[in-house]
Amino acid sequence: MKIGDNEIFLTDTGGEKPALLFVHGIMMDHSVWTKQIAAFAETHRVVCVDLRGFGASSTTSPETTFEEHCDDLLAVVAGLSLTDVTFVGWSMGGAIGQIMAAKNGSSFKQFVFVDTTPQLVADDAFTHALPGEAAQQLGGLLMEDFATGCGAFCGMIAPEDGAVVEKLTAIAAATDVGVAMTAFGNSGARNQISELPQITAPTTIICGRNDAICLPAASEFMAKTIPGCDGNVVWIDDAGHAPFLTRADAFNTALSAII
């Protein structure tokens, strides 16, 4: 789909059914949702997007803000005439979803935030996040040896499943380095806590109990802070940062109950 000067790649199962819009995390692409397409295509119109600059989507500049990603996603919803849309955002996709829900919540039926956080790097005011030293170490490794850094990052995502780590590492390593580093810089610098009280649309938080990137405590904080959420987190046991891949059956059961 042509949006502005960029080509935004997506997959679309089509039909006039209620839509599920899946949005991936940093250095990832639409293919992380393969197990959800198979599970929900009969009941929903499943759309999986490559964010600008990631996967097969182009970008004219690596300097893409979360707000610009929101604009692209709104253009996808309008361009495909999607109806009754559930926004499912993972990690950075969930952070983008927080902005979307706060600013354009009425455009969607509901939001599902998967293993995400309003603030990636901890400070004195928000301790439910990665220590600054850990974030700096990962950033340094990515700059020094991008492929090795991708492997280390993806090892943190899914330590419970080596095959998933291998799949995600291949996706991450194919990402443009400039796009990846800019996205990490944007993510690490953001604090979206003030956005959370503006989210009044129905919202559900799903989190792997062993998430080592977007910490479970951040999910608990979001569930209690977002007015559109009932205060509870839907937990996926024995899962890290990507439960929809490593514990797909449990994740799909949880998502099915939500939608």
8 Å CB contact between 195 and 100: no
The pLDDT tens digits for 34-68 are 999 999 999 999 999 999 999 999 999 888 999 99
Compute the distance between CA of residue 32 and CA of residue 161 in angstroms, rounded to an integer: 14
8 Å CB contact between 164 and 242: yes
The pLDDT tens digits for 80-117 are 999 999 999 999 999 999 999 999 999 999 999 999 99
- Candidates 241, 240, 247, 221; CA nearest to 232 is 221
**Residues present in the chain in total:** 259
Compute the distance between CA of residue 125 and CA of residue 85 in angstroms, rounded to an integer: 34
Residue 75, CA distances (Å) to 28, 108, 256 in order: 21, 13, 26
Residue 161, CA distances (Å) to 81, 97, 114, 248, 249 in order: 37, 27, 18, 12, 15
CA-angle at 14, arms to 204 and 51, nearest 5°? 60
Q: What is the pTM of this model?
A: 0.96
Which residues, other chains included, contact 76 with Cβ-Cβ below 8 Å and sequence gap of 6+?
1, 3, 8, 10, 21, 47, 49, 82
The percent of the chain in helix, strand and coil, each rounded to the nearest 5, is: 45, 15, 40
Per DSSP, 187 falls in state H
CA-angle at 100, arms to 233 and 30, nearest 5°? 80
Compute the distance between CA of residue 116 and CA of residue 91 in angstroms, rounded to an integer: 4
Would you give per-residue pLDDT tens digits along the chain (259 residues)? Answer: 999 899 999 999 999 999 999 999 999 999 999 999 999 999 999 999 999 999 999 999 888 999 999 999 999 999 999 999 999 999 999 999 999 999 999 999 999 999 999 999 898 889 998 887 877 888 788 888 999 999 999 999 999 999 999 999 999 999 999 999 888 887 777 899 999 999 999 999 999 999 999 999 999 999 999 999 999 999 999 999 999 999 999 999 999 999 9
Per DSSP, 237 falls in state T
